[in-house]
Structure formats: structure tokens, C-alpha cells
Structure 1
Amino acid sequence: MKGRNKIFTPLLISIACAAGLILGARMNFDTSDELFSANPKKQKLNRLIDYIDYEYVDDVNTDSIVDITVNKILENLDPHSVYIPKEEYAAVTDNMKGDFVGIGVSFYNVGDTIVVIKALEGGPSEKIGIRGGDRILYANGNRLFNTGISNDSITNQLKGKENTKVTLKVLRKGLKDMLTFNVKRGKVPLKSVDAAYMLTDDLGYIKVNRFSETTYAEFKTSISELKKMGAKQIALDLRDNPGGYLSEAINIADEFIGGEKLILFTKNKSGAIEETYAQRKGEFENGKVFVLINENSASASEVVAGALQDNDVGTIVGRRSYGKGLVQREMELGDGSAVRLTIARYYTPTGRSIQKPYDLGNESYFNDYMRRYKNGELSNEDNIEVNDSLRFTTPEGKTVYGGGGIIPDVFVPKYTDSEKEKINFLLRSGYMSRFVFDILERDRQYYNSVSREDFVEEIEITEEMIDGFETYILLERDLRINLNVKKHKPLLKKYLKAEMAQQLFGTNAFQRYLNEDDRIIEKVIELSEEIE
């Protein structure tokens, strides 16, 4: 049997390569039989797949082989050309659309019962009065507790077509009888602007987590509100923003760049260049802007930072960005799946490409963070590697470099304490979220009654909670992490309170707590106060 497997594996790989070549040739092009049969190479591969389907001695799932092959082919092109299977495509599309249709709750499955973490802001459940801690027991008469059904199945029962109704029976702590909610399913915003508030009397802050279809509209609303509050300067936080739609980034850059100045240009396979210029009168062309970036700011985030830096607008603060200067287009494959295929490179106004090299393969490419960490670049700007042959000059004479990310105008080192990295991991991975949820559940009536203003003064992360969290992470079987809790109690308290604020009041409150004592925020405030 083992010998047969050894023979069969190379066969599958060969079939996969063949199938992939066929699919690669068909992507986003005319797939008529005439075109396909006109190419003898493609015809040969097509016949091979047919022979395997109909004549091969064993059953072979050529559909799964094709999926594997598409991934393998794309991996050999560049790190950012990717395959999106049909079972993931809807979720990916929803995320980038900026909304989805449903009732709008996040939940945990606690003791085989759906317990609401939070009714999502702007969604149907929030509008109708569903709260954190509510147990959803029935949906249209169907029991949702003690059934053993998966979270995906539960989600499917709560989702549905827009404007359709679902009747929910909800148990709320402190009430004897169940509540009935008739919820009309509707669009639930997936906000890309996490926070917008004033850092000082003059300095407004906007945090953008990605560039979706609604990002520019969200940004416009936020910046208008901040101007009403007196903002004369803006801190645009693009840290950990992986990118998204290029058009949204261009629109945001245009808000700060006056005149008909170049924002970026792209160059495709044939060498055709497409230039994009500032077109409109922006909200903040006469204001001071600070763009916050770090090693995880990529793609569209780098478009904004690069456009402003190359036009001598504002100040880029933080650490060298990721280094992704490739443009992808999403192309459907006809079966519900799609590929994001790199179709061009983009260049900043001075003509620099900020795409980091990927000639050593994808593994080396995606491990670039560790290389930067080890060479000391994250803690000392003198360790940032630059290529003098990729030196460019802005209109006002500032030197900038291509070849791998945007180097900030003002460098702020990363706090490289490994213990803090562990705490960041616990926050981002959801372990803190579940622990905080359990705390809120102990006295849900009280926590749900606390106003945002009282929360600041009244709610304290106690020593008992810290001890409980230490025990919690020790008992988590899947979590193999050793954390010196005593060394970082103040930081843990801050992060736990930030997570509590998120579950009670949303991302704006969460970000405000998270930004306390933040090095880059402190530097931006210092720079803003130097401006007369």
C-alpha cells in the first residue's frame, strides 16, 4: 500500500499541474470551445483530464486536484496572487463590501447556547434593542440551544435575504419571561474606520483598519465631525492596515493633496502607464496631517503614505511599512471561486516602487518581519537597509527610497519586549475577549447599565481579575504561552479594560484605551504641539 501511494502522489502532482495550466489559460478570457481547441497544448491537457476522469483505474477527484493546482501555480507567480475557494468567496466579498445582510450580532456559544457578545453598531439587532448577554433560544420557532449545531449553522439560520423577518425568543438575565423580537434582516455595517476622536484640542485622530468599499465615505464623515470639534490637524492611523481597494486610498489621499498633483501611477505587463492625479478640493488640504505606519501597513496604506510623502504633504511617523507595490484584480473562475491576480505595479509620484523583493520565494518573503527584527531595524532607524540606486527626491528636496516599503520621516522604535508581544497576541487572538466576556456575564445587568462616562471612573480591572486571567491562560490547552503576569500588570489592566470597553461600547472606545501611552501617538502629539 505504501508503495502504491508513492507512485500515486507524483501522479496527482502531475495531473494537478496539467489541470492548473488549463485553468490558468482560461482565467478571465474567452472560454469558448473554439479558442480552447485552437491551442494544441491546451487541447492535450484537456484530453488528459478527460482520460483520467473516464479511463483511470481508480476514482480521482479532479475537482480537488484543480483547486490544489491553482494554488500551486499562483504561488509560483508572486506572493500576492491568490486563489479564493468558492466556500470562502462570499465572506471575503462581504468583508470588502463594507456590509453584509443579517441581524447583526456577534456571539459566543456558551454551554450550547447562543449568547450575544454585542449587537453590532448600525445593525438591525442594535436598533431593536438586543443587548450583550442576551441568550437567543429560538429563531422562527427553531430551537437553537442544546442542539449541538455548529456556529456556521446557527449563522445561516440568523442570516437571510434583506428585509425578510426572523422572530427571536430571547432570555435576558434578571427577567423571568423570554422576550420576543421581530427582527427585519438588513445591511449590517462592517466598519473600516475603527475610531475617530480628538487627541488634543487641535489634533483629531482617525484609525482605518482596511480599505473597503465604504472606507472613503466613513472617512469623510469622521473628518467632518472632527473639524466641527475643532480639529486643525489630523493623525491618520494606518498601522496594521493590510490595504484593500486602491480607489478608496486614492480618494483619501486626495483629501490632503491640493492642486492637480500626481498621486500614483501604475505600469502593466505591456508597459502601459496609467497616472492618477488629485482631482477635488479636499477637506484638509490646508491642515496638517500625520500618517502613522508600521511594519504591517501594506498596499493601499502605502499608497496614501507614499503619495503624501512624495508631494511633501504632512509627516509620516512610525516604522518602515510592509513593502507591497503590486496591484491585484479579482477574476471569477466560473464555479463560484476566484483568483486575485497581480496585473500591474504601482509607483509613488517620484517614480519609486516600494515592492520588496520576492525572488527568494514566498516563505522568505513572508518571513521578512523576522529578518527586520533580527537586524535591529525595528528598534533603530540606522539599521534600516536602503539601496542608494533607488534614491529619489521630492519637489522640496527630501530624499526618499524605493525598493521595499515607505521609510517614515520620523522614526519611532517598536517596543520589542517579548512579554508585551505575548500580551498583544492574547489580545488579537481573542483569548482576552472570551475572558472579559465571562467577567461581564457575572454581573451583566450592572455592566449593561454603566454609561460610557461612568465606565472610565467606576470600572476597575482588579488584582483578582488579573489573577483570574493568569489562571485562565494556564488552563487553556491550546495556548502554549508562558507569560510573566506580575511584570506586566499595568499593561494587562489597560488591555483588559480596552477589551471590556469594546464589548460594551464599540471600537472607538476600545481604540482610545489602546492608544493610552502609545509611543507613536505620543510622538505625533509632540510634533503637533511644535506647529504654531
Structure 2
Amino acid sequence: MKKSRIFFPILLFFTLAVGVLLGGYLNFPVEKPLASKNNYKNKLYKIIDFIDNEYVDKVNTDSIIDLTVNDILAKLDPHSVYIPPTEQTGVAESMKGDFVGIGVNFYMLNDTVAVIKPIENGPSEKAGIKAGDRILYANSCKLFGRKLPTDSLFSKLKGKEGTAVELTIFRKSENKKYKIKVKRDVVPIKSVDVATMVNATMGYIKINRFAETTYKEFKSGLQTLQKKGAKSVIIDVRENGGGYMEMAAEIADEFLKDKQVIVFLKNRKGRADKTFATEKGSFETGKVFVLIDENSASASEILAGAIQDNDRGIIVGRRSFGKGLVQREMDFEDGSAVRLTIARYYTPSGRSIQKPYQKGNEDYFNEFGKRFENGELYDKDSIKIADTLKFKTLKGKIVYGGGGIVPDLFVPLEGNNGNESTVYIMQQSGIVGRFAFETLDKNRNIFKGMLFEQFLDKMNKTDLYFNAFQHYLSKNGAIVNLTKSKPLVKRYLAAEFAKQLFNEQKFYEIILKEDKMIQAVLKLK
């Protein structure tokens, strides 16, 4: 299998847990400009030098260069982009799969670092940091009341492995300050959220992105599920915007037979570079289901396309994003980088699932709104596809190119009245998690010592938190009546509370029980 680092961009998602921006890339050497006296490439350098040396006012030419690069890339395609140094560090850490730091999930609450939860078995948990603690100082550096930029804040908490930082924390539950020394260590950033059983024979694996560690995490989860008796497996790549192609290919290889095509690339010269499955697959006979939605993109679509075109499993959900371009990344000495589209990828049947982008980036990335308006999220017959771009799977089933992967089994967005889409968007925005934290922060003792079953019983019996959330939204300027969606909202609220009080496993135990796509899969058995 080919091991070059090819990048499939993902949707940017800010995780306060580690303060990381997700992404992926391929590094290759930066080439020096040609020493030609009369070419257009040299013109840019001459203009910048002219401004730098002669302009009447002092100008930050670095910012001019950044603007110029952005303008150039904007004329190419939506996925050829410039990444400034402030973002690139987080992107690199996320795709590497770990970072060195103190290991806490946190929010900035009223200009103060508030710990949602220390990462399990991480440096902060071992040192005694607790959920709800406010971090006031890192050594002698004041962190509260300053509106520190994100990169400055992280620089105070991160450092070299084995080094120590003395944190001054305020523990609200005890109304006391403490000084706690935390030794920085390698903290993993999981790309596989959970691997669990949904019933006696059906396993479930949730992948949030395709990073360097994803295949290893996935393989470990798959082996665990097989030991528990999994004869079928659900792979969930909803909301997964992509990452490294190699990881998606290696995961597909676990399910495909030797020499079956997984994906192939074509550059502007038309050269095809195919990736084939090998003999190593450990799940080549059990049933496979892949869950996708409108935010499943790139590497997620490669995995889904390989399973669908080889007739290996059933794709469940809604039409995927539609991103079939391949990027390579070039790093610069200042820590910035440029991702440039260098090829198109095709599914095994020969499909390009890239959706059109001729109307500009704003139209391209805001297509979710159009899908909602035309009813596609609720009705499969409303899906707009280029029916002239027909292809056939190995067994002759018709599939289509030109705009994402259409699922074999369509599952609409939950509900049909518009409120559900509002709840869906709110869940993705993080406001549900923020509400859960602020509510718990007022009185954590309410849930102290409570078993998970007791917690569920409490959450199910009361509308207290539903009503409080409705008020919280109004207070924050979101005027929406969620009464018609009460069961759905209460489920999301209970799941968020469970994540912060217990762990992510409990979050999924709540969510998956009534997940419409999971239910659709189980009905197929």
C-alpha cells in the first residue's frame, strides 16, 4: 500500500479539551524561487521589497504577503488554502494524534480558564486537578482577566515532556486556592471516540477524523469488539471531515479482499495511482455498515466509497459532503503552510464525488442550507444528483458521481418540522456542552456519588434542565421554542451531562439507544 502523506482537508473543529484545530497534510521541501531576472514570479518579490524599502509609511509586509497568498489560492479551488502559524501548530498536533501538555478539557468562562474535566490518566488528573477548578496562574503568569490569545494561553500550559508547571487553582466547590505542580507529559488526542457493542453481535466504532494514530486506534477497537462477539460492525463517520487518506485506506483494507481497489488518484498529467487491498483483512466476511451525513467528507468518503463500490457493505444516512480533491502541504520557515490541490481521487468504480465549486467558496461551503431548503435532509427523492454520471459497482448496482456519496439506505434528519435541524445545529455548535458545564458548575454536589443508572433516572424524570436550557438559549439571544423537540433535546442534554460527569462511553450509551441510523441498521438484521 502506498505510504505517501496525502491530505484530505477536514472541517475545522475547535476542541477546548486540548485547544486543537483539526487538519492533516503532507510535508515536502520548500523550493527556492528561480533566479530569473525577467519572469512573472520575480515580480512579486520586487514589489514587496519596493514597498518595504520605499513606501511613505511603515507597512507590515508579512501581512501583505499573507493576503497575496490567500488571494492567489482563492482563485484555484476551495481546498487550496493558506494556514497561518497560529493555526498550523494545532493542526499538526491533532493529526499527529498527541501533544505535550497538562491534559485538561477547559472553557474560557468569564475570562478564566475553567476545567471541564482533566483527561483520564493524564498529568492533571494524576496531580489532583478536578472538574470545575479555575486555573489562575501558570507559574507566575496570570491567566485570568487578560483575554489572552489562544496560542499565548496554550504556550503557558504546554512545554517539553517531563517539565513541570506550578498551577494556582481556585476550587469553587471548596472556596479555596491551591498550588498544584503538574509534570507535563504526552497526551493522546483520540480520533476514535468509542468502540462499543450495540447488542450481542453488533459492534459500533465512531471515528472523528483520520489522523496518524487512527488505524491503530481503529484496529484495537475492532479487535476488542470481535472478542466480545461482534459478527457485524457499524463504522460511524458522521461529522468526520477527513484527514489522511492512508488511514481510510488501511481501515477499508480490514474489510476488503486481496487486490480489490480501494481508491485511485489522478494528477493533471492523467497518471493513475491505485491503492489495493491486501491479504491482511481481519473482518472480510461479517456485515459492515457505514454511517454518513452531509458533513462526512474526503477520507470519510473514500472509506464509504470503497465499501459501497466493492459491494462490501451498506452505506446508511444522508448524502455526503462531496469532496474529491487531494491536497499536498508545503511548510514555511515561519510555521505557516500552504495546502495545494495536486490531484483528484476516484472511488473503485471510477466515480469522482467532487461537487461543483465554480460559484465560489461561500456557496460551496454553505451548501448545507440549500440541502435543508430543498428538503434533501428529510426526503431521499429531493437529492440533486447528476444522473448522467452513472457508474456500476462490482455486482452491477448503479451509483452516481458528481456530488458526494448517496447512501444505500436513506435516513432523514430526525423529525420533520425544522426544530430538529435547529437542535442538530446547536449540538454541533457546542452550546449544549457549555450549558451543561455552567449548570454543573453551580452545584456539582447534586450529582456527587451518583451511579450512572441513578443519574439516568434523575434526568429522565425531570424537565428541570430542559426548561433551564430553553431559558439559557433565550438569555443568549437564541429565540427558539424547543417544546416539539423535547425528547430529542433531553437526550442531548443527558448525554452532555454524562460526558462531563462520567466519560465519553456513557455519552454514546445514551445517544446510540435512540439514534435513528442505528435503529435503521438494526431493522435490517
Matched letter for residue 486 of structure 1: T
Counterparts of 1:67 and 1:113, CA distance in 2: 32
Matched letter for residue 190 of structure 1: I
The structural deviation recorded for 1:136 is 3.2
Report the CA distance shift for 1:151/1:275 in structure 2 as closer, same or farther (over 3 A).
closer
1:214 corresponds to which residue? 213
3-state SS in 2 of match to 1:449: coil
Counterparts of 1:184 and 1:286, CA distance in 2: 47
Counterparts of 1:196 and 1:255, CA distance in 2: 16
2:202 corresponds to which residue? 203
Matched letter for residue 377 of structure 2: L
Aligned: 1:240 with 2:269: no
Contact 1:461 1:493 in 2 (8 A): no
Report the CA distance shift for 1:335/1:173 in structure 2 as closer, same or farther (over 3 A).
closer
Contact 2:241 2:298 in 1 (8 A): yes
The structural deviation recorded for 1:456 is 2.9
Report the CA distance shift for 1:152/1:60 in structure 2 as closer, same or farther (over 3 A).
closer
1:438 corresponds to which residue? 438
Any stretches of 5+ residues in structure 1 without a counterpart? Answer: 1-26
Q: How does 1:95-244 map to 2 (within 5 A)?
A: 95-110=94-109, 113-140=112-139, 142=141, 144=143, 153-172=152-171, 175=174, 179-244=178-243
Contact 1:461 1:497 in 2 (8 A): no
Matched letter for residue 430 of structure 1: G
The structural deviation recorded for 1:179 is 4.9
Contact 2:30 2:330 in 1 (8 A): no
Q: Report the structure, 1 or 2, having the larger helix content.
A: 1
Q: How does 1:337-416 map to 2 (within 5 A)?
A: 337-415=336-414, 416=416
2:11 corresponds to which residue? none
Matched letter for residue 210 of structure 2: F
3-state SS in 2 of match to 1:493: helix
Aligned mate of 1:494, from 467, 476, 491: 491
Deviates more, 1:415-424 or 1:333-342: 415-424
Matched letter for residue 394 of structure 1: T
Contact 1:294 1:321 in 2 (8 A): yes
3-state SS in 2 of match to 1:490: helix
Aligned: 1:31 with 2:32: yes
Any stretches of 5+ residues in structure 2 without a counterpart? Answer: 1-27
Contact 1:109 1:115 in 2 (8 A): yes
Counterparts of 2:50 and 2:481, CA distance in 1: 61
Kindly report structure 1 stretches of 4+ aligned residues shifted beyond 6 Å: none
Matched letter for residue 61 of structure 2: T
Counterparts of 2:391 and 2:57, CA distance in 1: 60
Counterparts of 2:330 and 2:173, CA distance in 1: 52
The structural deviation recorded for 1:389 is 3.3
Matched letter for residue 104 of structure 1: G
Report the CA distance shift for 1:463/1:178 in structure 2 as closer, same or farther (over 3 A).
same
Aligned: 1:455 with 2:452: no
1:466 corresponds to which residue? 466
Deviates more, 1:285-294 or 1:433-442: 433-442
Deviations 1:170-191 (A, max 9, x none): 4445657655543211111111
Larger radius of gyration: 1
Matched letter for residue 469 of structure 2: F
The structural deviation recorded for 1:59 is 3.2
Contact 1:311 1:349 in 2 (8 A): yes
The structural deviation recorded for 1:446 is 4.8
Q: How does 1:283-302 map to 2 (within 5 A)?
A: 283-302=282-301
Aligned: 1:483 with 2:480: yes
Deviates more, 1:170-179 or 1:445-454: 170-179
Contact 2:248 2:299 in 1 (8 A): yes
Structure 1 length-normalised TM? 0.87
The structural deviation recorded for 1:122 is 4.4
3-state SS in 2 of match to 1:106: strand
1:282 corresponds to which residue? 281
Contact 2:309 2:349 in 1 (8 A): yes
Contact 2:325 2:341 in 1 (8 A): yes
Contact 1:36 1:42 in 2 (8 A): no
The structural deviation recorded for 1:516 is 3.3
Report the CA distance shift for 1:401/1:278 in structure 2 as closer, same or farther (over 3 A).
same
Deviates more, 1:228-237 or 1:448-457: 448-457
The structural deviation recorded for 1:493 is 1.4
Structure 2 length-normalised TM? 0.88
Identity value in percent: 52
Deviations 1:243-294 (A, max 9, x none): 1110110011111112221111101121111111012422211211100111
3-state SS in 2 of match to 1:285: coil
Aligned pair count? 497
Counterparts of 2:405 and 2:317, CA distance in 1: 10
The structural deviation recorded for 1:329 is 0.9
Report the CA distance shift for 1:74/1:461 in structure 2 as closer, same or farther (over 3 A).
farther
The structural deviation recorded for 1:145 is 5.1
Greater length-normalized contact order (CA 8 Å, ≥ 6 residues apart): 2
Matched letter for residue 498 of structure 1: A
Counterparts of 2:177 and 2:76, CA distance in 1: 56
Deviations 1:124-164 (A, max 9, x none): 22344422123334433555556665665443322211111
